[in-house]
Amino acid sequence: MGKTKEPSKDMRDKIVDLHNAGMGYKSISKKPSERETSVGEIIRKWKKYKITTNQPTVWRYMQDFASWVGTTVTRQTIGLPPWIEILQHPQGPLLKKAHVQDHLKFANGPLNNSKKNWEKVLWSDETTIGLSGINSPCLEEEKNGDYDTKNTFPTVKHGDGNIMGCFSAKGTGRLCHIEWPMDRAMYCKISSKSARTLKMGLPA
């Protein structure tokens, strides 16, 4: 249903006068040819505000105040919800200047280390290797023997595993297969094996 035409001020005043004369909503709606709901809305507004014209909305008050101050604000800006400012508020840097200086100090610290000191550093890395395969059985086409054992190729589901390796300035250490969740004891055990292999002189 399309939007109906807004009643004029004279029509609104006439509806209020008929209501003050003692007529009901239905009787009034027949005379000015207005809907009963519109008549009731006009009368309720007159009883509450003692006016028949439409009041300006909140955004109009804010727009008038902004123009009085000397700035221009659009209706879309005024209609934004209050929390939209939080979403658009510029965030501060993730790292403060003190954090950046500490990171640079930590990164630049080992630059002046001698080769002998670097030989005491053991690096480690862990990677996950996944093996893929056909999980469904392969069938050899044969009449009335599709699912016979001799015509089915056995296949297995391949899983994945974690491998950890260590290396230093002296060379490459050992590769270890990690079968259990990594913890401190397992990490020390793997590192100690590589340290002994490379003869780094680290405590076992």
- Amino acid identity at 174: R
pLDDT tens digits, 15-57: 888 888 888 777 777 776 677 788 888 888 888 878 777 766 6
Q: State the alpha helices, DSSP H only, in 50-183.
A: 58-69, 75-78, 84-88, 97-108, 115-118
Q: Is the pLDDT of residue 164 over 80?
A: yes
Name the band, by pLDDT with cuts 50, 70 and 90, for residue 101.
Answer: very high
Tokens of 119: 């030989």
The pTM score is 0.35
Q: Is the pLDDT of residue 114 over 80?
A: yes
**201 torsion bin: left (phi>0), alpha (psi -120 to 50), beta (else):** left
Distance CA 166, CA 190 (A): 8
The per-residue pLDDT of the chain, averaged, comes to 75
Name the band, by pLDDT with cuts 50, 70 and 90, for residue 155.
Answer: low
Name the band, by pLDDT with cuts 50, 70 and 90, for residue 154.
Answer: low
The residue length of the chain stands at 204
Q: Is the pLDDT of residue 194 over 80?
A: yes
